[in-house]
C-alpha cells in the first residue's frame, strides 16, 4: 500500500497529463 501522499501526488500528475493531452488534441 502506498502512502496517501504518494497516491495524491500520482493522482495530481495523472490529472495534469490528461488535461494537457485533451488541450493538445482539441
**For residues 20 and 4, what is the distance between their CA atoms, to the nearest angstrom?**
24
Specify the pLDDT at position 15: 98
Helices (H), the chain: 4-25
The mean predicted confidence, pLDDT, of the chain is: 90
pLDDT confidence of residue 25: 81
Q: What's the whole-number mean pLDDT along residues 1-26? A: 90
Q: For residue 10, is pLDDT > 70? A: yes
Domain boundaries, the chain: 1-26
Distance, CA of 9 to CA of 1 (rounded, Å): 14
C-alpha 18/C-alpha 16 separation (Å) is 5
pLDDT of 1 reads 63
**Cα dihedral 15→20→22→23 (10° resolution):** 140
- Cα gap 24→22, rounded to integer Å: 5
Q: What is the pLDDT of residue 3?
A: 83
Amino acid at each position: 500500500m502506498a502512502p496517501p501522499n504518494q497516491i495524491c501526488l500520482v493522482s495530481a500528475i495523472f490529472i495534469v497529463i490528461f488535461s494537457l493531452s485533451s488541450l493538445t488534441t482539441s
